[in-house]
Structure 1
Amino acid sequence: MADAETARERVIEGFERSAEIYGLNRSYGRLYGIVYFAEEPMSLDDLADSSGFAKSTVSTAMTELERLHMVHRRSMPGEGKRVFFEAERDFWRVVQQFLDQELRREIDTMLRALNEAESILESADSERAANDLERVRQLQRVYAQSERFVDVVTSAPVDRLRSAIASIDELLERR
């Protein structure tokens, strides 16, 4: 039993470090790890007890993890309005949701700014403006390609993405 607990703790510590990599508090990674290994959905009280964190910390973390599609809020029969959480264990779904919501928002923001800049630069008459216009158009192409990539990845069924990655892995192994 101790071996399983030790192994589980190593993974949870990995989630803590991963949270830091993405600019989140380590507590978010720990809480995700606890929910990830839970047999059943956990309440805020359960998570506070398991983690040793204050209930307010747990609530804030779970709200952010829910926004990132890493956990799902559940209600349980006979529990009234008490909220429970369970982990999303399919990381492809997490990636799809992140790309669809977060990256797409960045792409839209940048494409609007680049289109406005292009309009301004097209009417300017200087060598600097011409150079800047070329740089803006390069960025437009990159963001347009990124938008197409996000469209493909977010619209494809997860099983198809896994199959595509497996095919790419096979191609790379043959090299």
Structure 2
Amino acid sequence: MKDIDALEQSRARVIEAISQNMTLYGVTPSIGRLYCLLFFSDRPLTLDEMKDELGMSKASMSLAVRNLLDLNMVEKAWVKGVRKDLYVVKDDPYQRFFDLFITKWQPAIHTNTKAIEKTINELEELLADSDTSSEVRKNAQVDIKNLQNWLEYYDWLSRLINSFQTKEILQFFPIEKRMNTDE
């Protein structure tokens, strides 16, 4: 019995840490506990089993599972003879990070780039207008320069995201730890 308690205690430590850090994925600690329940399970679980284990309502459990599916952290499983939906952890932490980074940053880059490009065009129209005062002209020129720096940043960020999508990033940061040959 002592060994079971030690196992449960070690798992509880991980569950607590991971569930508290699930905010990085934009979800609540209870969704993190659900993820860990599936992670430590030796078999696929149904919504009812997860609900009973965590003491959540079926509606809350369904929403939590949907969040984890959207984050690509769990997936449906199939077991012969079982009619209910089953779920398992999709445990590829590297892909999970790539998916999270991509889904969080791509829309922001698109929105910000469009706003900046529109603003630069408007500022250039101000500069082309002979009635624009010298003070406004000076500020518009500074703004255009600063906004062009932002566009360069978003271009770089887009290329970084592309390297995640194509897995090119793994050429520079391979999953396998490289041995230090300088020692």
- Residue 138, structure 1, aligned to residue 135, structure 2: no
Alpha-carbon displacement from aligned partner over 1:92-145 (angstroms, at most 9, x marks no partner): 010121233332122122222222122112222211111111121111011100
AA in 1 matched with 2:80 = P
SS of the aligned residue for 2:126 comes to coil
Quick one: structure 1 residues 4 and 20, their matched pair in 2 at CA, closer, same or farther if it must change by over 3 Å? same
AA in 1 matched with 2:167 = A
AA in 2 matched with 1:156 = K
Counterpart-to-counterpart distance in 1, 2:20 and 2:12: 12
Counterpart-to-counterpart distance in 1, 2:17 and 2:82: 32
Please state how far the C-alpha of 1:161 moved relative to its aligned partner.
Answer: 6.6
Counterpart-to-counterpart distance in 2, 1:97 and 1:22: 10
CA RMSD, Structure 1 to Structure 2 (Å) = 2.4
Equivalent of 1:73 in 71, 76, 93: 76
Counterpart-to-counterpart distance in 1, 2:148 and 2:109: 14
Q: Is contact 2:25-2:100 (8 Å) kept?
A: no
- Residue 31, structure 1, aligned to residue 56, structure 2: no
Q: Is contact 1:16-1:28 (8 Å) kept?
A: yes
Q: Which position in structure 1 is the counterpart of 2:91? A: 89
SS of the aligned residue for 2:75 comes to strand
Instruction: Figure out how many residues of one structure are paired with residues of the other and give that number.
Output: 170
Q: Which position in structure 1 is the counterpart of 2:7? A: 4
Quick one: structure 1 residues 165 and 116, their matched pair in 2 at CA, closer, same or farther if it must change by over 3 Å? farther
Alpha-carbon displacement from aligned partner over 1:58-114 (angstroms, at most 9, x marks no partner): 11111011111111122332122x211111222101012123333212212222222
Counterpart-to-counterpart distance in 2, 1:22 and 1:97: 10
Percent of matched pairs sharing the same residue: 22
AA in 2 matched with 1:41 = P
Gaps of 5+ in 2: 128-136
Q: Which position in structure 2 is the counterpart of 1:166? A: 177
Q: Which one has a bigger Cα radius of gyration? A: 2
Q: Is contact 1:19-1:29 (8 Å) kept?
A: yes
Gaps of 5+ in 1: none
Q: Is contact 1:74-1:85 (8 Å) kept?
A: yes
Please state how far the C-alpha of 1:160 moved relative to its aligned partner.
Answer: 4.9
